[in-house]
Amino acid sequence: MSIQVNGISTAYLGILLLSKLRETGLSTGRPAHLEVVASCAQGDVNMKNVRDASSILQKINDPKNFGVESQYCIFKLLSMWVTTHIAAKVCVEQVIVGASCPARTAEEGSRTLVSGTLLGSDAHGGFWTHDTIAMPGVLVISDEGRNLSMQCWKEILDVLRSQNSEIDVILNG
């Protein structure tokens, strides 16, 4: 269940919003923003917790692999992967896609999320934390991490396509 709530639904909602965000960006002449809630914890994932030759989603959804802290970190890594893949599908002049780490009190965290939506094109596909665009974790930027990300993104899209035949049309604008 947590993979649906914390992983797949983030991708699905982000994709479903793209049409309206693109339209808004075109009509206003300024890019709209899609801001995904992430965490610095995405950098704390051990590769063995996500690497699987057959299915990353099945591996992280398997109850025998569950650990509260590791699952939290894994789902924040998925948020970063989703952010980078959606960002790669949109024109930055229409939609800026970014991820933010609010990791503070609710009041401070809300300001972090809002400030992330005020950033320019340099934040596209990036990670906003502590009032700076920061380097994401190794599993986002390394070659092996990008390969895992591609595998996971394909799995997420396969799930979404099974529920909505318009996913590719929406993604490709």
Taking the C-alpha atoms of residue 156 and residue 164, their distance in angstroms, rounded to an integer, is 12
Taking the C-alpha atoms of residue 147 and residue 9, their distance in angstroms, rounded to an integer, is 22
76 is catalytic: yes
pLDDT band, very low/low/confident/very high, at 11 (cuts 50, 70, 90): very high
Task: Check: CB of residue 94 under 8 Å from CB of residue 22.
Answer: yes
72 is catalytic: yes
Identified catalytic residue from 12, 64, 76, 154: 76
pLDDT per residue as tens digits for the range 85-139: 999 999 999 999 999 999 878 998 999 999 999 999 999 999 999 999 999 999 9
Domain borders along the chain are 2-164
Full-model pTM: 0.94
- At 1 the pLDDT is 57
Mean per-residue pLDDT for 14-21? 98
pLDDT per residue as tens digits for the range 29-76: 999 999 999 999 999 998 888 887 799 999 998 888 888 889 999 999
Taking the C-alpha atoms of residue 48 and residue 65, their distance in angstroms, rounded to an integer, is 11
**Domain with residues 2-164, CATH architecture:** 3-Layer(aba) Sandwich (3.40)
Identified catalytic residue from 12, 64, 72, 89: 72
Taking the C-alpha atoms of residue 148 and residue 125, their distance in angstroms, rounded to an integer, is 17
Task: Check: CB of residue 155 under 8 Å from CB of residue 3.
Answer: no
Token pair for 46? 């051990």
